[in-house]
Structure 1
Amino acid sequence: MDNPLKFAGITGVGADSEGTIYVANSVVNAQECAGGCSDLRAFNPDGSLRWRAKGLLFVNSAVVDPNSDGTIIYTSYYKFKMDYSKPAGQDWEVIATSINPFDYPDDPRLLHSTEEAFDIRYINENKYLYLSDMYTNAFFIYRFDGEIAVPCAVFTAAYGWNGDEYNRLIWHWNRNRPPGPRWMWVDRNGDATATSDEFETFDIGRFVEAIDVDKEGNIYMGNGGNQSGVWKFPANHYDSHGNPQYSASSITKIVDVGHSVATMKWLEDTDLFICGNNWKISEIDIWENWSKPSRKSVRKIKTITGDNLHPESITADNEYVYLSYMGVTGPNGTSGEIAVYRIADGVFMGYILPGPEVENHSGWLDMNQPTKVFVRPNGERIITVEEDHAGKILIYSWRPPDN
């Protein structure tokens, strides 16, 4: 991956009077620099590398490969290897790029933004990558063939606010796609190419804000705005290529939770369902027995809100829920703040804040799901957070008091 003479997405070549050659790469041409950005290299006259500067991320989130004990992290395009024994900033390296525009020219990542690395699941011994964009306008499912993520399904999601216009841009050049803002594509023959017989339309109402995926690859969507439904998109089965076979006819509405579902997380091991009650989350709603007809809301956690405070997204592990504050400032006057609550009793545990490694500063959290958490076997949490000021991902290590 780090061969300095291997280039991707060259955007410019130049030289100076001393014979130094400069090469600018975008890595992948995509909208909003979602995973492309910059890889700048300078070469001596003899062709040896003089220096290299990478700016690979902007408005991106990251997710841990659950089979890696926290040492492998994916973004929309890149696979990173972490060595936590090294100093901060020197502890990562890119070891693979997951996109192949030559074999898979229909890959949605080539056509528009897919900033959010949402989840990684292993199903039937196959690895799957789930992506979205910063506003959850669409949801993308990929299966892996070696290091390459191969597109196998797409759902338009948001439909409302700017989502209806955005969704019309997905494969806008592909006249096989049905008209309208609410449709799904599923690869039925394994060629990863969208054809007219692979599209279906569906209707679950406007304003989808929350999405989740379970261990079997079933997709869940929650209505925002003035709606309050949670919908299930069963994977049904996986074909011989490893493609999940979603269908419009199998979509079901699980429950109406009684309020907007701005963000959500189902914890399958404990069968708890956690959701935020609005775009500006004032309560975190915790349900038990989520997979059973006896499901019910058992606890609500009040959050800290205010005129300039925007608690907008949650994620969770089996013990704690993590509330991300969007925009310029959080309760402590810092961008990128995360409040942590204990699920069992709603007790506030404290804040996760940017530290001296980044001069105690973070840019905005500016996407619907900026924060992901992974629990290592020793109880340590690896928490990845979007960072919009300096174009990076912040990675926090947290050991709860009980550990």
Structure 2
Amino acid sequence: MIRSLFAGALCACVSFITISGASAQTASNAKAGGTALNAQTSWIGNTFGFGDGSWTQINITAIAVAPDGKVYTDSPWDESGAEAGVYKDGKMLGYANGTHGWGNGGGNAVALNHRYAFIAVTVGTEKGHLVGKGVWPEKGHQWYGVTRRELGDPQRTMPFQPVANAADPRARLAASFLVVNDVPTDTHTEVTGLAASDKTLYVASASADRVDIYDPDSMQRKGSFKAHQPGHLALASDGTLWVVTDVLDGKPTVAHYSANGERLDDTLPLPSDSVPVDVAVDAQGRVLIADNGPRQQVLFFSKQNGRYAAPGTLGERGGIFSGVAGRPGPLRFNGLTGVGIDARGNIYVSTNGVGPNYTPRGKGFGSNLGAGLGATLESYSPEGKRQWLVQGLLFVDGAWVDPARPNSVYTGNKRFELDLSKPAGQQWTYVGFLSNRFKYPEDPVFHVDQWPGLPTARQLKGHTFLYLTDMYSDHLKIYRFDAARDGETAIPSGYIAGRAPRNADAIPNAPAGGDWMWRDTNGNGRFEAGEFTRNTSGKRMPGWGWWVDTAGDIWHTVDAKGIYRFRFGGLDKAGNPVYSYDDMQAYPVPAPFNQIQRAVYDASTDSLYVTGYTDDAPYQRAQWKEVGRVLVRYDKWSTGKPDLRYTVKLPWDTNAKPLVTIIGVTVEGKYIFGVEPAGVVHVFDKDRGNEIGVIRPGAEVGHASGWVDVANGITAARRSDGEYLVFVEEDARGKVMMYRWKPGA
């Protein structure tokens, strides 16, 4: 008996395909619990794995250094609430807490005196849902200000006004919070700089052109003075104040003020291409400038014969982009955000891959691109030797083994090398930053929301290409490599906008409304007007599933409309993979589905693995990111008469805590791997569809995984000895999980 494979009308561009029902196996059911598999838990991308409760935060936009070398940080966002961290001697000592959730957010400034840590934060109402006089702003308003904490333990709030309810931690937070700017929610007057002594607290607001002066004990305002777009501040031992100014205009500079705000006439001889982002002053009066321009260095200035001169620098000129572009290492800075110095002359430098970003946060977390490009904090001796480094390099990111190098792994914009002989958590080395904002300033990584993206690496015609999907599967980015000319840099090569992409106006010359394709035909990595192609096929492309097979074909699932296949058309003269709407093949939704979420094609067996919903297992709006509730393997897909080999009912329990469903799926070797939102990995036999068992986070990471929050958050690679490396996106603590599993071991 022959039955139609596809539900609904057939596309004109596809021949009629049928399936023999005789070969289909009885549906199997995957277990929500499952047998535990013997797998080692490891990770890549973070100095700490959370086994002891530590992790390096995912962004650092400001630092303050205590005389003993303890470093306090601030940033707008860390997924697990460590917006304001504390580090010393290469260890995370803790974080301030109370800067995340319940209307609270981090900021871009931090300062210390002998008693307190002052941290820039924000307080909102969660769209009016939080109400409490003195605890949250009025509905429709946002507070920007400073939280005061105990220097020795920043989790301890230091109230300076009455506490409405001592038993309520939110009331204690409010009593320790100084409201600097109370504004409507669509107005952004962030605190952009802080400096403190035992007698004075300076607070800068760039959008208000103002530096306010407070008493650090009473937190009463004593005055203010005008400064043009003031950013980070540094207080010298003589009581004068150094201010990074003009931070919103794109060409910042540094000004010197007296204690009461009078502009002084001495200036620093900054290089013409410098972009000062932070300033510090040591005990001898030497001024240190973090230069986030092309130099990527710390610049030193000291007063000689009544004028400031530049006696030296810290860091290789050009930073990570000098020599082999993108190769990290000591003194090779990348996106400086902060500089500080302790009493012994040790210098501390923070980076986040792009530098400070004063774009209003109301445009989305993507406007704070540091949360995804990689936070580092490092210490150097007075002689310039690196003493320690902590890294929080990954966020909303996955990993894919390099097809040309089995011990090389790509993430969204980084490359790591593996040494599996080392202990868990020490098996990775950061070796490549793939995004060069100086040579390729139009790279979408720096402009399009939702961070670099989830990687797929394929080798085509002897060349490696990187394909990246974003958090919401709005688009697919394509990159090529030219190691001889660009080192580790991934060169923008192609882009498929499946729907109107977020921040689409940031892509130069892009057609309005999305649904277009771009290819870098002249090889310069820029989006030029003649390089775009509109989708005129009449088939709209929004959907969750993207897959690039080993032959280079791109598969895209579009909900109830079907599966679209972009055939790899070889390489053009610039070395870009060629795809076109004219060579796109469309398949209707295959039975038994009424909506499909993912499609994974295995060219070695001509099999297509499809997940989605059926009449018996329908779609629920609340679970909009999941792969669906059913998986089906179809064999002989390319023949036009594929066989339905088996059907699997996937784990699905919306009442469970945490939620049980599958949010990501991949196929590798002899197995299918699916991952739950809470990070549990299900392993299925690829030939029969039965579940083999599950992999859960081990003690190495505190038996904890952050939420898998993306459509393509799991990948796997089979090694030559039969071991599988399984990589899972881990939102919470700046890393990607790496599970090592060898069947039968």
Q: Could you tell me the TM-score, scaled by structure 2's length?
A: 0.50
Q: Report whether the alignment pairs 1:107 with 2:443.
A: yes
In 2 relative to 1, CA 32–100 (structure 1 residues): closer, same or farther, beyond 3 Å?
A: closer
Specify which of 584, 602, 607 is matched with residue 272 of structure 1: 607
Q: In the alignment, is the contact (CA less than 8 A) between 1:116 and 1:369 conserved in 2?
A: no
Aligned-partner Cα distance in 2 for 1:195–1:84: 44
Specify which of 452, 456, 476 is matched with residue 139 of structure 1: 476
Aligned-partner Cα distance in 2 for 1:352–1:116: 24
Specify which of 370, 391, 399 is matched with residue 713 of structure 2: 370
What is the correspondence of 1:2-401 to structure 2 with a 5 Å cutoff?
2-28=328-354, 31-33=368-370, 35-69=372-406, 71-112=407-448, 113-146=450-483, 147-157=488-498, 159=499, 164=500, 167-172=501-506, 174=508, 176-202=509-535, 203-205=538-540, 207-224=542-559, 227-257=560-590, 258-278=593-613, 279=624, 280=626, 281-307=628-654, 308-326=659-677, 335-401=678-744
Letter matched to residue 379 of structure 2: A
Aligned-partner Cα distance in 2 for 1:12–1:274: 48
Shift of 1:271: 1.1
Shift of 1:240: 2.1
Shift of 1:173: 5.6
Letter matched to residue 636 of structure 2: N
In 2 relative to 1, CA 299–254 (structure 1 residues): closer, same or farther, beyond 3 Å?
A: same
SS in structure 1 at match of 2:662: strand
Aligned-partner Cα distance in 1 for 2:507–2:629: 42
Aligned-partner Cα distance in 1 for 2:543–2:413: 25
Q: Deviations over 1:227-273 (max 9, x none)?
A: 14111112323112211222222222134324322122111101111
Q: In the alignment, is the contact (CA less than 8 A) between 1:168 and 1:181 conserved in 2?
A: no
Q: In the alignment, is the contact (CA less than 8 A) between 1:136 and 1:368 conserved in 2?
A: yes
Aligned-partner Cα distance in 2 for 1:33–1:386: 18
Shift of 1:118: 2.5
In 2 relative to 1, CA 350–168 (structure 1 residues): closer, same or farther, beyond 3 Å?
A: closer
Letter matched to residue 566 of structure 2: F
SS in structure 1 at match of 2:467: strand
Q: In the alignment, is the contact (CA less than 8 A) between 2:635 and 2:644 conserved in 1?
A: yes
Q: In the alignment, is the contact (CA less than 8 A) between 2:596 and 2:612 conserved in 1?
A: yes
Aligned-partner Cα distance in 1 for 2:511–2:640: 36
Aligned-partner Cα distance in 1 for 2:439–2:566: 29
Aligned-partner Cα distance in 2 for 1:125–1:216: 12
Shift of 1:138: 1.0
Letter matched to residue 435 of structure 2: I
Aligned-partner Cα distance in 1 for 2:332–2:695: 39
SS in structure 2 at match of 1:197: helix
User: Runs of 5+ in structure 2 lacking a partner?
Assistant: 1-326, 356-365, 614-623
Q: In the alignment, is the contact (CA less than 8 A) between 1:288 and 1:297 conserved in 2?
A: yes
Letter matched to residue 172 of structure 1: A
User: Runs of 5+ in structure 1 lacking a partner?
Assistant: 327-334
Aligned-partner Cα distance in 1 for 2:605–2:465: 23
In 2 relative to 1, CA 338–269 (structure 1 residues): closer, same or farther, beyond 3 Å?
A: same
Please name the residue that 2:362 is paired with: none
Aligned-partner Cα distance in 2 for 1:34–1:212: 26
Letter matched to residue 265 of structure 1: V
Aligned-partner Cα distance in 2 for 1:77–1:168: 19
Q: In the alignment, is the contact (CA less than 8 A) between 1:33 and 1:58 conserved in 2?
A: no
In 2 relative to 1, CA 173–378 (structure 1 residues): closer, same or farther, beyond 3 Å?
A: closer
Aligned-partner Cα distance in 1 for 2:640–2:521: 33
Shift of 1:6: 1.4
Please name the residue that 2:133 is paired with: none
SS in structure 2 at match of 1:357: helix
Q: Deviations over 1:205-235 (max 9, x none)?
A: 25311111122322111112xx141111123
Q: How many aligned positions are there?
A: 383
Aligned-partner Cα distance in 1 for 2:704–2:369: 23
Structure with more relative contact order (C-alpha pairs < 8 Å, separation 6 or more): 2
Q: In the alignment, is the contact (CA less than 8 A) between 1:62 and 1:73 conserved in 2?
A: yes
Shift of 1:28: 3.5
Aligned-partner Cα distance in 2 for 1:173–1:87: 43
Q: In the alignment, is the contact (CA less than 8 A) between 2:379 and 2:388 conserved in 1?
A: yes
Detail structure 1 runs of 4+ shifted over 6 Å in the superposition: none
Aligned-partner Cα distance in 2 for 1:390–1:154: 29
Letter matched to residue 553 of structure 2: N
SS in structure 1 at match of 2:471: coil
Please name the residue that 1:330 is paired with: none
Deviates more, 1:27-36 or 1:258-267: 27-36
Deviates more, 1:18-27 or 1:274-283: 274-283
Deviates more, 1:120-129 or 1:10-19: 10-19
Aligned-partner Cα distance in 2 for 1:33–1:262: 31
Aligned-partner Cα distance in 2 for 1:196–1:168: 19
Q: Which has the larger radius of gyration?
A: 2
Aligned-partner Cα distance in 2 for 1:336–1:322: 12
Letter matched to residue 26 of structure 1: N
Kindly, what percent of the aligned residue pairs are identical?
A: 31
